[in-house]
Amino acid sequence: MYSGPAMKPLLLESVKVETIWGSDNISKKRGYDKSYGSWWEISAHKKSANTIKNYDTDKNFYEFVMENEDDILGPGYTIHEMLRLGFLDTKDTLSIQVHPDDEYAMKNSDDFGKKESWYIIDAKPGANLVAGTTISDSELIRDGLEDGSVEKYLQRWEVSKGDFITIPMGMLHSLGRNILALEVGTNSDTTYRFYDYNRTDKNGKKRALQVKESFDVTDFSKEPEFIKAEEKTRRLIESKEYIIDEIYADENIELTLDKHFCVVSNISEDSTVIKWNNEDIELKSYDSMFVPYASKSINIKKGAHLLLSQPGKEL
């Protein structure tokens, strides 16, 4: 257990990304007039790092973590075990894409591999996403990609508010239109675009595909883990990469950080309060808080509806 001075939980400035598929649900909630598809709430990635709002520092979040991994992440935990969280807010479907594992990503993209999970904050009736394929024959899928019939091989899942799905490394996937999801994943920014519905960007150009890399890393036999919504406290996933719990706090909850950091995400429409070291910290609707290992403990107030994300690796 950490014995030094307690470190205050971090509030971070979102990294906003304009996309061709982005909607404006989060933009409107936060007072922006642009439609940003991606909002990286917690990102200590060397290519995309948050600004820290409640510390007097000129370092970005990646630099801040790298300066003292043991106290911030936990003894023995490194930037590899860091988690990356963000909102995906869609008015159109994302490209069909795939993420590599660590070995391929480090060799070819100077990055870590990516596993991710999506908690569906909201979805219009009939909304669906792609996760996996209906066949495992890579040559048939390659033929479908070449002749334009590949969409018939995509496995679609209808989703509703509160559903949860995990996308393993090496599986084709795509979030569909009219969905707001909170993504929790490993600390990677590497995506290989497999298929993009022949769309063009605002300049009339088709977006680049990474077909070779996609076939290199995709296992067409892989399937997602899909969990339907339930209004109760439950563990959504426990894996070597991360652990995610959905919490409906029917009483105050004391959370002790005796091994590593955690991330608290408010998935309610209402603000909630996290108490740390006798200080009340407001966590607004859809905001997240990074809680360093050196914070020692936090108290979650009764009535909160949260996602609690932690690294899965045991040291």
Which tens digits make up the pLDDT trace of 145-173? 999 999 999 999 999 999 999 999 999 99
Q: What is the overall mean pLDDT for the chain?
A: 96
Whether residue 4 lies inside any domain: the answer is no
In a domain, 6, yes or no: no
Q: Is 199 annotated as catalytic?
A: no
Q: Is the pLDDT of residue 66 over 80?
A: yes
pLDDT in tens, 225-279: 999 999 999 999 999 999 999 999 999 999 999 999 999 999 999 999 999 999 9
39 and 129 together in one domain:
yes
pLDDT-derived band of residue 2, with 50, 70 and 90 as boundaries?
A: low
Query: What's the total number of domains in the chain?
Result: 2
What does the H/E/C string look like for the chain? CCCCCCCCCECEECEEEECCCECCHHHHHHCCCCCEEEEEEECEECCEECEECCCCCCCCHHHHHHHCHHHHHCCCCCHHHCEEEEEEEECCCCCEEECCCHHHHHHHCCCCCCCEEEEEEEECCCCEEEEEECCCCHHHHHHHHHHCCHHHHEEEEECCCCCEEEECCCCCEECCCCEEEEEEEECCCCCEEEECCCCECCCCCECCCCHHHHHHHCCCCCCCEEECCCCCCEEEEECCCEEEEEEECCCCEEEECCCCCEEEEECCCCCEEEEECCEEEEECCCCEEEECHHHCEEEECCCCEEEEEEECCCC
253 and 196, same domain (yes or no) = no
Please indicate if the annotation marks 99 as binding a ligand: yes
Do 208 and 269 have their domain in common? Answer: no
Q: pTM for the whole thing?
A: 0.96
Q: Which listed residue (30, 177, 193, 207) is catalytic?
A: 193
* Residue range 115-120: mean pLDDT, rounded: 98
Ligand-binding annotation for 151, yes or no, is no
